């Protein structure tokens, strides 16, 4: 996932990673692994294309990586909520907001 030299640079209008970065973050050498993945994603994405990253990590963690000047990406964050019901009844407003935050995933649209 971090080195696919057989694919041409700019080969794809859309490059998607879903939770690969999340998995790499568990490694002792996560900084090198994440940087390698992002460099390769940028290389494979066409000049007018989009790199889409879906992660459980919030903007505080992910934007440090995605907004690095070397990538030159404009990054838009989309919060993806997992709606839930307990016992067939909707939760109260405060409980529902808290549950949403815990279950949120984020989509990072990089162009």
Average pLDDT over residues 82-95: 53
Are residues 37 and 53 in contact, defined by beta-carbon separation less than 8 angstroms?
no
**Dihedral of alpha carbons 87, 90, 93, 97, sign:** positive
Are residues 80 and 106 in contact, defined by beta-carbon separation less than 8 angstroms?
yes
Distance CA 3, CA 15 (A): 14
The pLDDT tens digits for 1-16 are: 678 999 999 999 999 9
What is the signed CA dihedral for 42, 66, 77, 43, rounded to 10 degrees? 0
CATH (residue range 12-110):
3.40.50.150
Report the interhelical angle of 59-66 vs 30-44 (nearest 10°): 60
Task: Give the pLDDT band of residue 41 (cuts 50, 70, 90).
Answer: very high
Distance CA 51, CA 71 (A): 11
How do the domains of the chain map onto residue ranges?
Answer: 12-110
The pLDDT tens digits for 42-87 are: 999 999 999 999 999 999 999 999 999 999 999 999 999 876 555 4
């Amino acid at each position: 996932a971090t080195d696919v030299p057989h694919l041409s640079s700019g080969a794809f209008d859309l490059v998607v990673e879903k939770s690969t970065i999340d998995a790499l973050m568990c490694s002792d050498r996560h900084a090198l692994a994440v940087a390698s993945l992002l460099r390769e994603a940028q290389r494979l994405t066409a000049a007018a294309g989009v790199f889409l990253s879906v992660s459980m990590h919030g903007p505080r963690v992910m934007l440090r990586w995605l907004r690095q000047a070397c990538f030159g990406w404009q990054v838009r964050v989309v919060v993806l909520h997992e709606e839930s019901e307990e016992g067939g009844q909707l939760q109260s407003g405060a409980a529902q907001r808290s549950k949403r935050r815990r279950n949120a995933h984020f989509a990072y649209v990089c162009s």
